Structure 1
């Protein structure tokens, strides 16, 4: 065990948060698709407006997406885009 005066750093917490955002996006996407919505249009509407009614309440998708900040969603989507399209 380290000295109590040393600063502790936990990288896993940040990595876990990113995984959670990606998982929320996946689950919301699946719920929107299952209900017959265009998931891209609905997610863009939510991200741009902040209005949660763009997201279905089916499978608790609306409450799930509200657990993460919109800027975190945009960050995760940009990261995935850059990794798949620009790398």
Structure 2
């Protein structure tokens, strides 16, 4: 029998953290599959914060809400700058 007078420790290991670029890729594909213009829909979400701009297909809506909108913009801008060779 365990000693009930001492505090027991419980540690939960967090799973791998998904990155903004992965979220954007998954959401982009889900929007395309459903026939939406992914750029327009993602911009609508980022500007308004309204998650209904993003389809729930393949869990895209719940996934995009796991990351702050400013982090998504930061990832897009960083990728754009790198793609254009500005750094």
TM-score normalised according to structure 2 size: 0.77
RMSD: 1.4
Counterpart in the other structure of 1:46: 45
Distance in 2, Cα, partners of 1:56 & 1:43: 10
Give CA-to-partner distance per residue, 1:29-71, whole Å, 9 cap, x none: 0000000000000000000000000000000000000000000
Q: Which residue of 1 aligns with 2:65?
A: 66
Q: Which has the higher helix share?
A: 1
Choose 1 or 2 for highest CA Rg.
2
How many Å apart are 1:26 and its aligned residue? 0.2
Specify every segment of 5 or more residues in structure 1 that has no aligned partner in the other structure, as ranges.
1-15
Moved over 2 A (4+): none
Instruction: Give the secondary structure class of the aligned counterpart of 2:55.
Output: coil
TM-score between the two structures when normalised by the length of structure 1: 0.77
The 5 A counterparts of 1:1-87 are 20-87=19-86
How many residue pairs get aligned? The number is 71
